[in-house]
Amino acid sequence: MFENIFGIHEQALLLHGQRVGVLATNLANADTPNYKARDIDFSEVLAHNGDAPLPLQITQAAHITFNDGELPAGELKYRNPYQASLDGNTVEMPVEQAAFSENNVRYQASLMFINQTIAALQFAIAGQ
């Protein structure tokens, strides 16, 4: 019953947490020559994850196991700059800042959904 209690938000929280790090790296390297800005393709990682909702049935020891505890290894993709910079840097401050704050809101949204699920469960357990 409690296997998938938080739905997508458990994984979404992890992914948004990782994306904070990737975007912070872009912001940190805003002045580094030849640095290429990168990002996670959120929908692709989630779609990749949705491909195998059912665990593999293992009947022999030689069977490979499906690793469903970890996030799928999504690929970091390079961002296409709107206007190329002369020093080879593709970090565009406004784009990165917008993505960072958007990711921030999404992280907090996932966190709120999880919190409300916990609150609902506590209410059901306590009955008051």
Partner 1 sequence: MSLFNVFNVSGSALNAETIRLNTTASNLANAESVSGDSSKIYRARHPVFQAMMNTSDAGFGGQDAATGVRVLGVVESQAPPLMRYQPDNPLANKDGYVFTSNVNSIEEMTNMISANRSFATNIEAINTARDLLLKTISMGR
Check: CB of residue 92 under 8 Å from CB of residue 82.
yes
Decide: is 114 part of the binding site for partner 1 (CB under 8 A): yes
CB atoms within 10 A of CB 63: 10
Given candidates 88, 118, 120, 123, which one binds partner 1 under the rule CB under 8 A? 118
Measured CA to CA in angstroms, residue 16 lies from 13, 60, 72 at distances of 5, 37, 14
CB-wise, 50 or 58, nearer to partner 1?
50
Decide: is 24 part of the binding site for partner 1 (CB under 8 A): yes
Q: Which stretch binds partner 1 (CB under 8 A): 24-32, 50-58, 61-69, 78-86?
A: 24-32
Decide: is 29 part of the binding site for partner 1 (CB under 8 A): yes
CB-wise, 46 or 114, nearer to partner 1?
114
Provide the pairing of β-strand 76-78 with 38-40. antiparallel
Decide: is 31 part of the binding site for partner 1 (CB under 8 A): yes
- CA–CA gap between residue 20 and residue 91 (Å, rounded): 15
Please give the span between the terminal C-alpha atoms of the chain, in angstroms, as a whole number: 22
Least Å distance, CB 60 to partner 1, is: 28
Q: Which stretch binds partner 1 (CB under 8 A): 57-65, 78-86, 113-121?
A: 113-121
